[in-house]
Amino acid sequence: MDIELVQGDITEQEVDAVVNAANSSLLGGGGVDGAIHRRGGPEILAECRRLRETRYGEGLPAGQAVATTAGRLPARWVVHTVGPVYSASEDRSDVLASCYARSLQVADELGARTVAFPAVSTGVYRWPIEDAARIAIEAVRSASTDVQTCRFVLFDAAAYAAFERALADSPG
């Protein structure tokens, strides 16, 4: 698998699947979530509402992932995943790693070969960027998947630099 890093806006990525850093409600929010719904249009929210009425009546649990249309985004699907809120007293690294692993699993089910990820949990959910970058790189590196390209789309220079370091430090 190729791992690419770019600094930019995830809603502009021409890939098969774009991953959304959603919340359990699946009904939208700020950050990446807000940007994806704004730019992708109402079709995405309509599908999210249907998911809430069917499979995910209680919401999507943290660490899980589910796909919808990408609406007007230049991608085919959005894979919504729910990151853990960072906690200094409880280690939730496994839940964060699971976001990446489960998103790739959903991508495989869709037949997606190129996937763009944001740095899940590093915004509103306050996960320290260096640690989040290490967990993200390790999780995609160790996944068994048919996805050929994982592109991490980092919003600012500091996040980009953290992912660059994590990639350089990661074995393999």
Q: Which stretch binds ligand AR6 (CB under 6 A): 16-24, 46-54, 63-71, 164-172?
A: 16-24
Query: Residues 119, 120, 123, CA angle at the centre, nearest 5°?
Result: 85
User: DSSP E strands: which ranges in 94-171?
Assistant: 114-117, 149-154
**Structure tokens of 98?**
């699971």
Please, what is the minimum distance in Å from the beta carbon of residue 75 to ligand AR6? 13
Nearer to ligand AR6, 16 or 40 (CB): 40
Minimal distance, residue 1 CB to ligand AR6, in Å = 20
Instruction: Find the catalytic residue in 2, 9, 16, 33.
Output: 33
* Dist CA 111 CA 91 (whole Å): 33
> Which residues inside 151-170 make contact with ligand AR6, applying CB under 6 A?
153, 155, 159
Alpha carbons 169 and 161: distance in angstroms, whole number: 12
Distance between CA atoms of 12 and 152, rounded to whole angstroms? 13
Site string for ligand AR6, 29-48 (x = CB under 6 A): xxxxx-x-------------
| Cβ–Cβ under 8 Å, residues 48 and 40 | no
Considering only 62, 121, 134, 160, the residue that binds ligand AR6 (CB under 6 A) is: 121
- Residue 63 binds to ligand AR6 (criterion: CB under 6 A): no
Catalytic residue list: 33
